[in-house]
Amino acid sequence: MLLHVDNITKEGLTLEFSEPASSFPVLADMQQRNEVLFAGVIQIHLKISMLDGMVSVSGVVQADVVFHCSRCLVEYATPIQSAFDLTYVKELPEVEGDDEEIEVAPEDMGLMLYSGDTIDLREAVQQEVIMALPLRPLCKADCKGLCLKCGGNLNQEVCHCDTDDFSLKFSALKNFKVDEKR
């Protein structure tokens, strides 16, 4: 996924890639640890332009992923999509100010540094896919989860367990007894 800066014309470039998750190190690791399964390739659509030495990359990443619901543990498939805008520069622009000790990182300015005549987009695409993944995947917004006593999937069956006096908050103290000595 190397972008050759010399290939960017005045009109810009439109590029499309399809890459397997295994070609992205962090995504391959996540898949190997069974955190997520990528059901197909990751599709990348990019629009690239150059303005005053800055390379502007606008894109969309899409993938079909399979998760285990964080409430009921059922496996489900869903598409993810993330749009992004990145700006690459060879060197940081001068920052004017009174304080000579002002240091501004490229990330603080929303810029990414590159060297040579190519830009590797693999890391940026990988980060966008990771940010599009849900922190707590749910099979559906109103997932009822599992019964705390019998473990039954409450989306599929009606549980008859008595849950009136059951609370996880203080379950560790359920059998705690205090010996009163005066």
Say what the pLDDT of residue 177 is: 79
The DSSP result for 79-136, as a single string, is EEEEEEEEEEESSPPP---S-TT----GGGGT-EE--TTEEE-HHHHHHHHHHHS-SS
Q: What is the mean pLDDT of each run of 10 residues along the chain (182 residues)?
A: 83 91 93 91 93 89 94 93 91 62 61 84 91 93 89 88 65 75 70
Query: Which pLDDT does position 149 carry in this prediction?
Result: 83
Quote the pTM value: 0.74
- What is the tens place of the pLDDT at every residue in 38-60? 999 999 999 999 888 889 999 99
* Contact of 2 with 119, CB cutoff 8 Å: yes
